[in-house]
Structure 1
Amino acid sequence: MMTRIGNSFHRAALFLLMFSSTAFSSFDASVDRSHIALHETLELTLRADTDSDASPDLSILEKSFDILGTRRSQQIRIINGRSESWKDWVVTLSPKKTGTLTIPPIPFGSEHSKPITISVQKNSTQAGDITDISPVFMKAQLSHETVYTQQELILTLRIFHSVSLYDDSRLSSLDINDAIVNQLGDTQRFETTIDGKRYGVFEVKYAIYPQKAGTLTIPSLSFTGTMADPRDPFQGVFSMGGQPVRARSAEIPVKVLSPPASYQGHDWLPSRGLTLNETWSQPPDSIKVGDAVTRTITIEAKGLTAAQLPPLNIPSPTGVNTYSDQSSTSDTPTNTGIIGKRVSAVAMVPTKEGVITLPAISITWFDTNNHQSRTATIPEKSIEVLPGNISSPVRPSPAPTASPLPEKPDNLPAPAATKQQLSLWQWVALGFSGLWLITICALFWLWRRSKRSSSTLVQSSEAHSVRPQSASEQGAFRAFQAACLEGQKPQLILETMKKWCRLFVNDHSLKTAQQCADRLDSEQLRTLCAELDAAIYAGENNSITGQEILSVCSVLRKNVKVSEKEDNLSDIYPA
């Protein structure tokens, strides 16, 4: 009897113990760091010793933090025959603001975690200092603290990482109001050592051209990625693990000045160096009357794009007929900035011999290194035009006077040799006439055959070369058409034109309007795009209307034939 009572007591005690462990399960919260900078992240670990399939409600965190990712794990531990199990939720958080932030009590069933206080400070280090101890951090550096409007400003952005990162890293785009931004080349990767610790570095450079005086703010950029788990021997090849990481750069203010009042140039050209050069298709001292000679003038400027360089007005000297020749523009990105180039060519045909004078050509620009105006000049040039190669007419020699021959008697018979000579020449003439007729017939037959072949070839070529206009191309052209007809800003007109052109020629590597014009091989479109680019940089209303560029592109859309790329190749660049 006592044994049965004892067994019942033990079973009851065991039941109460199991009930109490279930009913009074704990739910705790902890963080890996409580003092962080604004651009850093922290890990919040939530632990529950329950077998429930429920998950904690994390939406309450979104008021003060960005939730970058959540990892879940379950562990079981057995010691001396006694088992314990718990679940962990590891949440990666990025603060949204500075100050004292509170991770509020997080509900989990009937339980709540305890609140946790986090101190968030603004990154106060200078742009070039390396004092961050985070596994991933960013530094931004500017080439100048003060610039003039339209002067090139170089932003160097570096992302440092002391841990391995997966290939899903992303960097936010750099968008600045009242400024034009161009990325300088591709992202560079290298390694460096800081305080004895090795870091991998991503480096991106931007050329920024402020368009308005005042204070320009370089916004904070964010970098997101996934840090490889050091315990994973395969570094994520066979698993989807990893810890999300985020880094932010600091905002940087820049003072933008108006052009100095002392500047007297016709066009505002702030540059680190500008040169003006000329070349000739043949030596100027060997030019003769009637020769067609090409004179090429090249403007090259460091820190300016080709769209900022003004078209040259090359004067026509007296005694020379001039014709506009091929001109071009190009931008070359370098580590120190963009080098813009504008090439203007003119064909010259002297009409008389003697000395002709070519007036000087000058461009005034502003030296941003020394803060003073300078002038690039091609000096006045005098050229001696030589007489042309005109040969004097050849006068025919007078026919010799024949002395009178004695009159032949009527009854004198013709020599036999003469009769044979006349007969031979008659046969030769007849033979040549026959060969001539045969040649004409053969040429006519070949001409008819080649005409039929070329007609068939043209039809076949047209059937294969004219690419049907896709729905996306038609939609892009309608957007371009609307921008032109509604009188939108030149920048929007060029952007919609470039998007349509990329789809029309099926070439997404086209980045600039000049590249599109070159691809369509239209000199008229090149000129219109160059003038629109100049209007964008000058901030002025341009005389070119949207109808002009729309008219040119409509004609090109009907007449230009483009070869379609292979359908099985995916687009490398988005449209």
Structure 2
Amino acid sequence: MLNTPLLRAALGVLLLSIGLAVQAADLTARVDRTRINANETVSLQLVAEGDTQGEPDLSPLSRDFDILSRGQSKTTSIVNGRMSSTREWTIELAPKHPGVLRIPSLTLGQSQSQPVTVEVVTGSANIASTGNKPLFLKEEVSEHTPYVQQAFDYRIKVYFRQPPQRAALSDPVAENATIQQVGDDRSYDEYVDGVLYRVIERRYRVTPLQSGPLTIASPRLEAMVLDTSRRARRDPFADLDEAFGGSMFQGFPNIAGFGQSTRRIIERADDVTLEVRPQPAESGSIWLPATSVQIADEWTPNPPVFKVGEPVTRTLTLTVEGATSAQLPNLDTGTLEGAQVYPDQPKSEDLAGTAAPTAVKTFKTAIVPTRAGRLTLPEIRLPWWDTKADLPRVAVVPARTVEVAGGPAPSPAPDVQPPPVGSSQTAEPTTAAPEPKSPAVMVPAPAQSPGSGTGSGIWPWLAGGFGFAWLATLVWWLRERRVRRDSARDSAKLSPSIGGLRGLDRSAARRRIEKACLDNDPRAARQALILWGQAMWGEASPNGLNALALRFDDADALEVLTEIDRAIYAPPGSSWDGSAVWSRLGPLLDRAGALMDEGDEGPLPELYPRA
């Protein structure tokens, strides 16, 4: 009964589908290390994608390796209604002899893996110290001898063979420099002395504030890792596995922490000490260290058409590689004779996703010619220091002379014609002016009464009425403007917002900083400092304490603000003397406010002092 044609056909279809599934599988081979000692083992992983059947042929491994153990697992997932499965074999191999050993191509059905090469050396001295560590850190800097105020990259890399548990990484610390994290963390694989590690890379931007030695203290990594020095607990399913032929509980998922011992470790990379060079004497008054500086000149409309009384917009875009937006100076566009100039507020930003620090600053200016003829736009020059060639350079926008066309001609005054007969208008009598005689004396005519037919009539009274109405409107507008200003000032006193009135909001923010420091609350102090910065500089205010430190013309400011940041991220139980911090921070705020008030009456002071 079982040997029916229908049953044979069904079995044939089943075998065919299994053969096709095995043929569609993709087999990948990888090892955890490519360089080992002769007395060590290497773990080989075979991964097959798809619904596979059977076992891989491991017989080619016996030429150079002993197979110590093997295991397998299977994973099935359903995504968007589609089912996919993966099988993985883990084979522990011991080399039979030193040298360059080759794990040949292995087969599973119709699939084949790529061969893998493993180098086996004698003696442990050939393996670097990091090769035996489950987790370690490395640091990198893009510049070892930067100039003062030259931004450079600092990278910290975390290497691990197995993902650590409850890992926490602090930030690097440096005195007399600002450090800011840039972008998101990157992850990739990397071989170190033949060992395959997973790497997580974090990038920071460092800007030294003064010349001399600069030490960057490495971040600290705290994590829990598997303790291989202790004997792990026996797998609770091992006995059942053996009782049922070693297949019933094969591939049972591991439970984190069950049957495994962990230990807490603290790792650091090496501290980096750099020598920061001072500003060269031949650099000039403007100090802009960079690797590239470009100035783009654009017009709206394009090409520009210059006419008397019609505006033309000029946009200058300054792009600097190797600097931050806070370092970009303003462009000196000179003076224009024969035109009115209306500049907008410059806008600057740091570009994200670039290999090197890159900043852009945009200057927009409306130019309205006031006379026809030639108009000369002066040359624009920006000196900067090329940190690659170590030479002074100048970015130049050449001078430009344009022709300004005259405005529309004024329409001629119409001839006065006598009104037609029967018109209600009264024509003013016109008489030809007599030719002056040399000895004659001009005597004013006697005033005429309002009712005289030859006088000005009602027009002087109308003009006086309109003038009186205009004066009344002006008085009302000034009164309403004063009422709105007083109302805004009163609301600013009651509101914690920082928009509008600089003086009152700045004083309120200063009181907040003082209260937070005296309450020993570093987080509240940091928030109050950000509010104070916004009250000082509005939209151009800094975003963090490191950026705020650049606005002070005092080296002590960086130390005080860094101390606040350290207190925020200090371990629990750490103490912070807010009263001592306020005794140093209060005078800095007062001095910065006084400089800002003086700057309202004159040119702004230099943002970056020379080292």
- Report the TM-score, using the length of structure 1 for normalisation: 0.50
